[in-house]
Chains A and B, each alone.
Chain A
């Protein structure tokens, strides 16, 4: 079998090249740690240089982690980020669009939401993931062709489905992200790229604290738990892709 073949879920992330946006706090940071622990090479992207450097320092001496400074919401940052991801990892097999914006904080009724706050939510939650994914599609398709597997995981929310009052900018933008994931998954199935949209649940993270400052934190899911679930979903997708390649290979018309 090819060296990229991953036979089961526990080892599926071993050697995978994973880029995670919003990787210096909350779910993103927990996912960086989880993927590293499972043997992946990880590049994480966040806005502030100081935070990126501090987190990278914390995660050392591990050699399989790379901090990259960039704001996914800014068009001009996308290609410099993509260049550094591919430079650091030598390619990318998994992209996790995790960085999210609530829109207005404190949360506001949609009717009271400033257009600029809605813009900001769309830039981070929809346009940013669109642009970064598009910039990395060539690399993802290459990973698929070279039998490493290719997965894009977009972090979603139940606010994308349920009309919670006060979550208008966030919910509407996450709904758009959901649909974008589904359409891309349809369009790129023959390229071998799988798109996932996952709701990690209500977690004890800085984003949740900003949205619901008086929440009972003990009732919230720990980000480490959600990170394990996301890592499992990625692993499952990589395993499925490897299995479908293996069945393709058994067909008589395929490569000898």
Chain B
């Protein structure tokens, strides 16, 4: 696929590859998304606003330049102040993460000076570059410091520096995500009105989408990290209502799938409230709630792609990959989209024919 390398959230020629429950693949303009919805369907998106979580600064004990990428938090309640972070050596997004120099050796107690922010490494998290961080100061001063010093986390496929407005979806409105829940770029206010006009409903959950890649094979195998999420009462009620009326629950993005399926893992019901998603979703995951997903296009080997394997069998995904390639789809966060209706599950296809990637 072609790397989408301009920060345009909604290109007028954006495309949507549609895979239905029987594995039939069709190609549509992305603007046709509302026409895929039916009465009583429920579209669920992630309304997290994206923190500018790339913080350049200095490892105080050695005086060496570092970049900290905030990668996760424990809770959405009072989320600011304590974070999980991935530390890189000198440089920025223009260098591929795989090629970035390592940071100096990090240890608990090390102080970091990140622009106006001061932080202390509480401890390393079973990896020399993954750390628990605590920021100094009041919540207001930490928000202020991140808002002014931080930059959106970005990768080398995007040559220009992203601005905060590039990574906020139109529906962003709650703390917080570390990388943009970019499937939500598909939504604008006209689309939401069109969805409503079809008798479908729209709700949001908040899920703290973490890093999608670190460039370190050991760390990447641990992705996604644990992600806190919040399901509002209105969303929980709307999901129950959609199920009762035979509507489909359609997740906008992998983060929504992770939140809803985690919430429903006990008894199949999605309750309102705060929790932390810890599970991985892959080919063998039984999906309880989400009937279809709208997602960006993902490359095999990523945790996002693994999640799609819970919706379509590998043969179908391979056919889809061929179509994406042949039709010139764009990939990455500003790329084109796929709509995958969960397959009619049969035991033979559920097991798949390819070895499951190591957890």
Contacts and interface: CB of A to CB of B under 8 A. Distances in A.
Contacts of A87: 80, 139, 143, 147, 175-176
B327 to A, nearest CB: 31
Contact of A191 (B52, B189, B241): B189
A238 B191 CA distance: 26
Interface in A68-111: 68-69, 76, 78-84, 86-88, 90-92
A145 interface: yes
A248 interface: no
Interface stretch (A134-142, A161-169, A208-216, A223-231): A134-142
Interface residues of A, number: 37
Contacts of B170: 137-138
A78 B163 CA distance: 11
Interface in B205-247: 232-234, 237-238, 241, 244
Interface in B266-281: none
- Grouping DSSP codes into helix (H, G, I), strand (E, B) and loop, the A interface class, with mixed when no group exceeds half, is helix
B165 A139 contact: no
Given A2-B233, A80-B147, A190-B196, A256 B173 contact: no
Interface string B192-208: 11001000001110000
A190 B193 contact: yes
B47 A79 contact: no
Contact of A90 (B47, B147, B175, B237): B175
A79 B165 contact: yes
A1 interface: no
Given A135-B168, A139-B174, 8 more contacts: A78-B165, A91-B173, A137-B170, A138-B49, A138-B169, A138-B172, A141-B173, A255-B237
The 5 tightest CB contacts between A and B, nearest first, are A139-B173, A138-B173, A79-B164, A80-B147, A87-B143
A34 interface: no
A84 B147 contact: yes
Contacts of A140: 173
22 contacts: A2-B233, A76-B163, A79-B147, A80-B147, A83-B52, A83-B146, A83-B164, A86-B173, A87-B80, A87-B139, A88-B139, A91-B173, A92-B173, A138-B49, A138-B171, A139-B172, A142-B173, A142-B204, A145-B204, A146-B233, A146-B234, A255-B237
